[in-house]
Amino acid sequence: MERKIRVLVAKPGLDGHDRGAKVIARALRDAGMEVVYTGLRQTPEQIVAAALQEDVDVIAMSILSGAHNHLFPRVMDILRERNVQDILVIGGGVIPDDDIPALKAAGIAGVFTPGTPTSATIDFIKNNLKRSV
Amino acid sequence: MSDALSLADRARTGDVRARARLITLIERDDPERLGALSALRASARGSAHVVGITGPPGAGKSTLTDKIVSELRSRGRTVAVVAIDPSSPFTGGALLGDRIRMNRHATDEGVFIRSLATRGHLGGLSRATGETVRLLDALGYDDVIIETVGVGQSEVDIVRLADTVVLVSVPGLGDDIQAIKAGVMEIGDVFCVNKADRDGAERVVREIRSMLETAVMNGAATRFSELFAALADRKQAAREPENADARAHFSQGAAHHIAADGHGSLELPPVVATVAETGQGVRELVDHIKAHEAGLEATGLLAKQRRANLAWELGTEAAGRLVGLLEHEERREEVAALADAVLARCMDFHDAVAGVERSLAEAIRSKGS
Ligand SMILES: Nc1nc2c(ncn2[C@@H]2O[C@H](COP(=O)(O)OP(=O)(O)OP(=O)(O)O)[C@@H](O)[C@H]2O)c(=O)[nH]1
Ligand SMILES: [Mg+2]
């Protein structure tokens, strides 16, 4: 049976470019994962809907605009409303250290700031999946 | 209730997670799915109209699919999309980017979009595509759209799954039109020239029409030639207004008549110019897609085509399993021994092949018992 880690890479919020998200998407692909890329300006509702249709194991969000404190927890709220517990959710982008504890408390399992090597994100995903792939 | 039946039940009653999970199980070739698919009666095609969107990389297939979905939704139809992108042969990973163009439909409950990676399968589709399409059909989506990987000239398996194939071309590809000539042309039922906002679109439309004319005059076996012949027969034999309507509708607009050797007129499939980015021409394109289905239905060709396609799928699946049997250790050793015999000039090549066949037959017998 062929098993692959499936990841949704999404950019919530109003950021104008998605270079960082594309870099991580390619790195995950090169690590052998199937990456569904949804592009810019996704609402939390769209992100969750896409994640469910695509049956992904991981949601990886990237944000530069500073709206992470609102948008990341919002995604977690919608997942909870839909009773989804087995998707690993991680976030990256320009996120001040002070914000990280609250994001983790909200359920964002890993937070990756600029400069984190992509290999760290890949390892984190492999070691923290919430369901067996 | 067993797991399989509960999964089937949840999928049937609209649970998106259950639907998505079933597709994952299909992709993994996981036997756990079989009970659920059987309960959903997902083995044979039902009432969905399956439309294939194919064409070269970057032609705008996803953007077009997005607009086609909107048009179908405005006609009150529910739509499932299966979008296929290639896996990397080196890492096995894949970047599935078709969804970028369609994600505004993500929260519409009448739309279900799933991206599949080819996972080494050739032919422009993934191995799971056929079964996934039958599942989505059984779940009641009115239309199922398959977006193939960007094709060169040999990835034509889409004709085995789709009732209607839309072949998308674009201006500015230079030699690409040559690739189309080389064999992909035959697979289209409806032809679309996208990026009509760019220079040269009219020329591409003309070129496609002239290639179609040549193909028809040469009597080349195309997807559409059988349909046109059947529609003409029916019209002549019965003069049923219903068929005449379907035919008139199908040939309206882009399809046209030309004189051929003085023998009446030739009929060509529609060639529609679109600008997928703005939606221009998409309503007309959908009209032609639907008229094609109506034509197939009126002539009985829909059932005939599906029968031939299912037979092909059964054969392909069985052939795949045979290859799988050959990969068992024991078989591999037997086949290697035959190769040794050929290398030592103790056995002819074709006798060795017969030996492999006997070994396979033995494997099948012992599997059954
Ligand atoms: N000018 C113009 N650009 C278009 C049109 N339709 C799509 N595009 C652009 O063409 C590019 C490719 O579009 P896609 O829809 O991703 O093409 P595709 O055929 O699905 O690509 P693959 O799936 O990678 O083979 C995008 O940048 C689109 O914005 C159009 O009608 N006119
Ligand atoms: Mg595409």
Note the pLDDT of residue B84.
96
pLDDT at B255 over 60: no
For residues B123 and B292, the model is more confident at: B292
pLDDT 10s digits, A63-105: 887 888 899 999 999 999 999 999 999 999 889 999 999 999 9
Q: Which CATH number fits domain A6-128: 3.50.50.100, 3.40.50.1370, 3.40.50.2300, 3.40.50.280?
A: 3.40.50.280
Chosen from A3, A4, A5, A125 to mutate, greatest number of chain B CBs within 10 A:
A4
pTM as predicted:
0.90
Question: Which residues on B lie below 8 Å from A52 (Cβ)?
Answer: 16-17, 20
Rounded to the nearest angstrom, the distance between the alpha carbon of B98 and the centre of ligand 2 is: 4
pLDDT 10s digits, B209-253: 888 888 888 877 677 888 888 888 887 877 655 555 555 555 543
Note the pLDDT of residue B239.
64
pLDDT category at B264 given cuts 50, 70, 90 is very low
d(CA A59, CA A35): 10
Is the CB of residue B120 less than 8 Å away from at least one CB of chain A?
Answer: no
C-alpha distance from residue A101 to each of A10, A58, A108, B5, B123 (Å):
22, 20, 10, 42, 49
Instruction: Please give the number of the atom of ligand 1 that sits closest to the Cα of B98.
Output: 23
Note the pLDDT of residue A126.
96
Note the pLDDT of residue B244.
52
Note the pLDDT of residue B199.
92
Between chains, do A31 and B94 touch, taking CB under 8 Å as contact? no
The ligand placed nearest to the CA atom of residue B63 is: 1
Domain limits, chain A: 6-128
Q: Letter for the amino acid at B313?
A: E
Distance from CA of B307 to the nearest CA of A (A): 29
pLDDT at B37 over 70: yes
d(CA A57, CA A51): 8
pLDDT at B28 over 90: yes
Q: Is residue B275 helix, strand or coil?
A: strand
DSSP secondary structure letters along A12-57:
BSS-S--HHHHHHHHHHHHTT-EEEE--SSB-HHHHHHHHHHTT-S
Rounded to two decimals, the ipTM of the complex is: 0.95
Neighbours of B351 (CB within 10 A): 12
Note the pLDDT of residue B361.
92
Note the pLDDT of residue B240.
52
Q: Average pLDDT over chain B, rounded to whole?
A: 88
Note the pLDDT of residue A13.
83
Taking each continuous run of H as one helix and of E as one strand, the counts in chain A are: 5, 5
In contact, A48 and B15? CB cutoff 8 Å? no
In contact, A48 and A22? CB cutoff 8 Å? no
CA-wise closest residue to B206 among B278, B268, B288, B275: B268
**Which stretch, B117-121, B150-154, B169-173, has highest mean pLDDT?**
B117-121
Instruction: Please give the number of the atom of ligand 1 that sits closest to the Cα of B168.
Output: 19
pLDDT at B174 over 90: no
Rounded to the nearest angstrom, the distance between the alpha carbon of A31 and the centre of ligand 2 is: 22
pLDDT at B139 over 90: yes
Looking at chain B, the whole-number percentage of residues with pLDDT higher than 70 is 88
Is the CB of residue A53 less than 8 Å away from at least one CB of chain B?
Answer: yes
Between chains, do A31 and B91 touch, taking CB under 8 Å as contact? yes
CA-wise closest residue to B21 among A23, A123, A56: A56
pLDDT at B262 over 50: no
**Which stretch, B5-14, B184-193, B249-258, has highest mean pLDDT?**
B5-14
d(CA A54, CA B23): 9
Note the pLDDT of residue B184.
66
For the segment B22-49, the average pLDDT, to the nearest whole number, is: 93
pLDDT 10s digits, B183-209: 567 889 999 999 999 999 999 899 888
Q: What are phi and psi of A40, to 5 degrees?
A: -75, 160
Q: What is the DSSP letter of B182?
A: I
Is the CB of residue A46 less than 8 Å away from at least one CB of chain B?
Answer: yes
Between chains, do B95 and A49 touch, taking CB under 8 Å as contact? no
* Atom 10 in ligand 1: residue holding the nearest Cα: B60
For residues A69 and B145, the model is more confident at: B145
Chosen from A26, A28, A37 to mutate, greatest number of chain B CBs within 10 A:
A37
pLDDT at B98 over 90: yes
Q: What are phi and psi of A54, to 5 degrees?
A: -85, -5
Q: Letter for the amino acid at B347?
A: M
